[in-house]
């Protein structure tokens, strides 16, 4: 069965992570994604290592782990956009594409005649999505941005990390580039929504995605907590601001995360813990009471958890239907029985390494299989193939390569 987007062509002019992450999502869904890169250099993330993928002889390739995480399923074409013939190639690709992704600095592609207004003339149905740090307008529109600084600007680091008055306190960034990833997912949702609209109207669209907008839009409950109460949310370590008890607890031999989501789960926890009296205690009887009195409840629970090993706690609470888990390392994640059962770790054939590990997309369809048939491409791996599909003959392709245009 073909993927749900097997009829869609995507031109990916983006680099780093947010745009490429969206391109990979679309490729997994079956779209033909052509990734345009700089000759000889390519996407910045190709060099963001170590670690780098090793070839069959154990030597490092040019493909970093970072690059390999976001470019599966694409075809790589090298084009110098600073040249008239390079721009012609991109226009030819755009003319046959359904979706275009780009994350150039505001105004850059207009200088090349590759902005939405120009490409709309040759392809009115094109869905053109610009991904930038701050969007296409405003006082910071022309500023560069990276995930780390947007986590800071958008308030995420003000609510992430241990309390300032405790050991290890202070602002922390999330351990993965969450703003880039969320931006990539919002980008995917937006272009697919535009694609659905085009099916009704026949018209393309221009989409403006800003990373800071994404971060502000993703503060979710913390943002609404402030808007409703007028109180500034603060870092609270692993403690949930609205639901208790939810925290990390040290056991006799390690740590577990306990995630009590409602009063029924709290009652079952108390049964397992041998503390049924806590359910009747007015300080702990309801979630609201537990949130207000967490400074009284959590020390009691901290002492309790130290009495048993973490696997014993996890097994007992799991049997009782109370969400609880040991804290896995990344290697342990891939050894987890549920993760293995779901096939989240896979391998794809790779031209220089023989095979490359990949983390499977979490999307699953009953009627349309996702496409996992291309490893993240080598730089320029598909240039000749794609140009031939555009009608370029071998002599012209050879000349373009000789002149450094591809």
- Catalytically annotated residues: 180
Q: What stretches of 87-166 adopt beta strand conformation (E)?
A: 99-102, 127-132
How many Cβ atoms sit within 10 Å of the Cβ of residue 401? 16
**What's the pLDDT score for residue 117?**
98
Q: Is 223 a domain residue?
A: no
Question: Which of 302, 328, 354 delimits the end of a domain?
Answer: 328
Q: 3-state SS of 209-257?
A: EEHHHHHHHCCHHHHHHHHHHCCCCCCCCCCCCCCCCEEEEECCCCEEE
For residue 63, give the 3-state DSSP assignment: strand
How would you write the pLDDT of the chain (406 residues) with one tens digit per residue?
A: 689 999 999 999 999 999 999 999 999 999 999 999 999 999 999 999 999 999 989 999 999 999 999 999 999 999 999 999 999 999 999 999 999 999 999 999 999 999 999 999 999 999 999 999 999 999 999 999 999 999 999 999 999 999 999 899 999 999 999 999 999 999 999 999 999 999 999 999 999 999 999 999 999 999 999 999 999 999 989 988 899 999 999 999 989 999 999 999 999 999 999 999 999 999 999 999 999 999 999 999 999 999 999 889 999 999 999 999 998 899 999 999 999 999 999 999 999 999 999 999 999 999 988 989 899 999 999 999 999 999 999 999 999 999 999 9
Q: Is 1 a domain residue?
A: no
Q: Is 226 a domain residue?
A: no
133 and 175 belong to one structural domain: yes
Q: Is 44 a domain residue?
A: yes
316 and 391 belong to one structural domain: no
174 and 132 belong to one structural domain: yes
164 and 92 belong to one structural domain: yes
Torsional sign, CA 149, 155, 161, 164: positive
Contacts of residue 132, Cβ cutoff 8 Å, sequence gap at least 6: 103, 105, 106, 141, 145, 208, 209, 210, 211
d(CA 361, CA 69): 11
- The secondary structure of residue 400, as a DSSP letter, is H
95 and 210 belong to one structural domain: yes
For residue 87, give the 3-state DSSP assignment: helix
Phi, psi at residue 35, to the nearest 5°?
A: -95, 120
For 34, the domain range is 9-217+340-402
- Whole-angstrom CA distances from 168 to 120, 157, 237, 238, 406 are 53, 14, 9, 12, 50
Greatest Cα pair distance, the chain, in angstroms, is: 84
CATH, residue 129: 3.40.50.10540
61 and 94 belong to one structural domain: yes
Q: Is 229 a domain residue?
A: no
300 and 363 belong to one structural domain: no
50 and 184 belong to one structural domain: yes
124 and 177 belong to one structural domain: yes
253 and 289 belong to one structural domain: yes
Question: Which of 282, 297, 328 delimits the end of a domain?
Answer: 328
Q: Is 235 a domain residue?
A: no
Structure-token match 């090349």, residue found: 112
Q: Is 4 a domain residue?
A: no
How many Cβ atoms sit within 10 Å of the Cβ of residue 88? 14
164 and 133 belong to one structural domain: yes
Neighbour-count burial of 279, counting CB atoms closer than 10 A to its CB (0-12 exposed, 13-18 middle, 19+ buried): middle
d(CA 48, CA 45): 5
Contact 249, 258 (CB under 8 A): yes
**What's the pLDDT score for residue 92?**
98
Phi, psi at residue 350, to the nearest 5°?
A: -130, 135
How many Cβ atoms sit within 10 Å of the Cβ of residue 125? 14
**What's the pLDDT score for residue 1?**
67
Q: What stretches of 269-351 adopt beta strand conformation (E)?
A: 324-326, 345-350
Q: Is 350 a domain residue?
A: yes
Contacts of residue 118, Cβ cutoff 8 Å, sequence gap at least 6: 110
CATH, residue 256: 3.30.1540.10
186 and 255 belong to one structural domain: no
Total domains present in the chain: 2
């Amino acid at each position: 069965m073909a993927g749900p987007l097997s009829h869609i062509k995507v031109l990916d002019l983006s680099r780093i992570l947010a745009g490429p992450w969206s391109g990979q999502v679309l490729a997994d869904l079956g779209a033909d994604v052509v990734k345009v890169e700089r000759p000889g250099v390519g996407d910045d993330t190709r060099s963001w290592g170590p670690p780098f993928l090793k070839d069959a002889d154990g030597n490092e390739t040019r493909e970093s782990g970072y690059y390999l995480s976001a470019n599966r399923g694409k075809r790589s074409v090298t084009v110098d956009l600073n040249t008239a013939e390079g721009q012609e190639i991109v226009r030819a690709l755009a003319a046959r594409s359904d979706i275009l992704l780009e994350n150039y600095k505001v105004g850059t592609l207009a200088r090349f005649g590759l902005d939405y207004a120009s490409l709309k003339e040759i392809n009115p149905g094109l869905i053109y999505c610009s991904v930038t740090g701050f969007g296409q307008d405003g006082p910071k529109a022309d500023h560069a941005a990276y995930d780390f600084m947007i986590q800071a600007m958008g308030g995420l680091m003000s609510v992430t990390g241990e309390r300032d008055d405790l050991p290890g306190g202070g602002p922390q960034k999330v351990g993965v580039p969450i703003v880039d990833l969320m931006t990539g997912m919002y980008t995917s949702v937006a272009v697919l929504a535009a694609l659905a609209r085009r099916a009704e109207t026949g018209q393309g669209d221009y989409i403006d995605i800003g990373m800071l907008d994404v971060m502000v839009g993703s503060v979710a409950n913390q943002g609404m907590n402030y808007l409703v109460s007028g109180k500034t949310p603060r870092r609270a370590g692993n403690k949930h601001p609205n639901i208790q008890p939810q925290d990390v607890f040290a056991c006799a031999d390690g740590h577990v995360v306990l995630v009590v989501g409602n009063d029924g789960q709290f009652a079952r926890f108390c049964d397992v813990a041998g503390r049924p009296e806590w359910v009747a205690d007015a300080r702990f009887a309801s979630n609201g009471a537990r949130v207000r009195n967490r400074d009284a409840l959590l020390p009691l629970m901290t002492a309790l958890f130290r009495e048993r090993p973490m696997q014993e706690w996890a097994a007992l609470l799991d049997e009782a239907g109370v969400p609880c888990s040991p804290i896995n390392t990344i290697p342990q994640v891939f050894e987890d029985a549920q993760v293995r059962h779901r096939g989240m770790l896979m391998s794809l054939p790779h031209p220089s390494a023989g095979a490359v590990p990949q983390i499977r997309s979490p999307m699953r369809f009953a009627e349309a299989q996702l496409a996992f048939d291309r490893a993240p491409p080598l730089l320029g791996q598909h240039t000749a193939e794609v140009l031939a599909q555009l009608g370029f003959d071998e002599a012209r392709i050879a000349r373009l390569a000789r002149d450094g245009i591809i």
